[in-house]
Structure 1
Amino acid sequence: MSPYLEAISIYPIKSLDKIDVNLARILESGALEHDREFALFDEQGHFVNAKRNAKIHLLRSTFDPNLKTLSLHIQGTDQKAIFHLHDQQPSLEAWLSDYFGFPVKLMQNTITGFPDDLNAKGPTVVSTATLEEVASWFPNMSVDEMRLRMRANIEIGGVPAFWEDQLFTEAGKYVHFQIGEVLFEGVNPCQRCVVPSRDSQTGKVTTHFQKVFVAKRKDSLPSWTTSTRFNHFYKLSVNTNIPASEAGKILHQGDEVKILSVSQSNVRIAD
């Protein structure tokens, strides 16, 4: 079976729940439309995210089909609320501020969203087989739970575990690959943070998660992986850029995935 785009996920509000979609439009910045379009900030201008505040794991979020209305539910309680993202923003911010215990602001960026890696603003890529393999390292860990912990945008099917390690190479060079009609640059393996070590729904820490992950990742490194990109082994999935020339193109679930070439980056990436 040839590599193909098995699943697409977007995260309308950074650090909150995902939406699975059948297609996604490419923005000029290289981001997927609506992915991390909103983010929560504290008074100091810092992200309110799971890296800084484990309470966010208990916050379930759903959206209407047009991504205009947000429903929130504090897991394990009967506390629920529905807000229009624009018309009721002050009320939404007040509700979130009460939940977190400090003032919270909701910000929007429709151009780039709020990516973690400012040098790789495109979607993150992982394979289904990788998620299955990594889940197997931890007792009673489901593949879907590992998927929720890793929070990738694009999932590749029809390939072996860690196939996506072929989508990056030495520092300063880029792997050019194509999904459907969209051209990508694979930049680097994604360095993981504290978030994958916690249960995605409860925030409870998985004992020795990082220690086990690092040992298993090192032992499982395929022959095709550029090992010089691993100053440590707490890395999984691939950060990407998408050239500005691809703006407006559509990724479709089921699209073929092809690796094209390796080169210095010679295309302009939108700021």
Structure 2
Amino acid sequence: MARLARLRVYPVKGLDGIDLEAADVLDGGTVAHDREFALFDTDGDVLNGTRTERVHALDTEYDPATGLLAVETPDGEERQFDLESDRGTAASWFSEFFDVELSLERDTSLGFVDRREMGPSVISTATLETVASWFDEMTVEGARRRLRANIEIAGVDPFWEDRFVGADAPAFEIGGVRFDGVTPCGRCVVPRRDPDTGEPIEEFRTRFVRKREATFPEWADLDAFDHYYSLMIITRVPESDRGRTLSVGDPVETRRN
């Protein structure tokens, strides 16, 4: 049976994710705590994995209940920051680490997601397993950390999520919360890098595109994809379903419009 297998959010944009057993859909249509914080330079540009591979050097853990962010550097330095009451101290530390003046901003209604008019990213466990099999250097958990989806669905076929974008695509529900597919997710440079070391897989994009084309589902709408360097989908939760709670283990059902 199709079910919600994993809820993963990324409290500080560009840094490590955390797994949740349950999370609310915010009024803005995103998952609570996802990209809730972000580091910005003085020009207003965000600091993330696309901008610098230095983000992979940090091991971070955020506790939503306390607002505490634990950070460990490659040389073993450990710091803890209270993002509820003192983001300035954290911003100063990150500024020194990344060698650029940064502020740490917060958005609790939507988060600093890339596509602010859209909602959660969705992928299947089978898709992650398939992509990991394409690369000797990649594990399933490594694929999960490279691709950084919010919602992972188990009990379905590889590339199950592709069916929800394109002409006449159905919607799906998780525990009664409706999700409409909006667009496939075109990938950036981040998936080619080891999430711990930043070490790139050589010719990652070439191999990925070749494999993706060879395994592209015949039932998916190819016209919905600009290119084969795309994986997972970005969805939208209708306003009527926002404010509800998603829980790991919730059943997943396809819904025709």
TM-score, normalised with respect to structure 1: 0.92
The aligned counterpart of 1:269 is: none
Q: Could you tell me which amino acid in structure 2 is paired with residue 212 of structure 1?
A: R
Q: Could you tell me which amino acid in structure 2 is paired with residue 32 of structure 1?
A: V
- Give the match's secondary structure for 1:217: helix
Question: How far did 1:140 drift?
Answer: 3.5
Give aligned-pair identity as a percent: 41
CA distance in 1, matches of 2:81, 2:12: 14
Matches within 5 A, 1:33-182: 33-74=32-73, 76-120=74-118, 122-170=119-167, 175-182=170-177
1:46-96 per-residue CA deviation (whole Å, 9 max, x = no partner) reads 01001001101111111235141111111x212111111132222111110
Instruction: Kindly indicate whether the alpha-carbon contact (under 8 Å) linking 2:49 and 2:55 is maintained by their aligned counterparts in 1.
Output: yes
Question: How far did 1:218 drift?
Answer: 0.5
Pick from 175, 178, 181 the counterpart of residue 183 of structure 1.
178
Task: Determine whether 1:197 maps to 2:192.
Answer: yes
CA distance in 1, matches of 2:83, 2:27: 24
Question: How far did 1:174 drift?
Answer: 5.6
Q: Could you tell me which amino acid in structure 2 is paired with residue 9 of structure 1?
A: R
CA distance in 2, matches of 1:34, 1:65: 7
1:138-182 per-residue CA deviation (whole Å, 9 max, x = no partner) reads 013110000000000000000111111111123xx6632111121
Matches within 5 A, 1:202-213: 202-213=197-208
- Give the match's secondary structure for 1:139: coil
The aligned counterpart of 2:29 is: 30
CA distance in 1, matches of 2:234, 2:46: 20
Gaps of 5+ in 1: 263-271
CA distance in 1, matches of 2:45, 2:30: 21
The aligned counterpart of 2:244 is: 249
Gaps of 5+ in 2: none
CA distance in 2, matches of 1:206, 1:164: 25
Moved over 3 A (4+): none
- Give the match's secondary structure for 1:204: coil
Q: Could you tell me which amino acid in structure 2 is paired with residue 136 of structure 1?
A: S
Instruction: Kindly indicate whether the alpha-carbon contact (under 8 Å) linking 1:176 and 1:184 is maintained by their aligned counterparts in 2.
Output: yes
Instruction: Kindly indicate whether the alpha-carbon contact (under 8 Å) linking 1:9 and 1:152 is maintained by their aligned counterparts in 2.
Output: yes
CA distance in 2, matches of 1:78, 1:169: 47
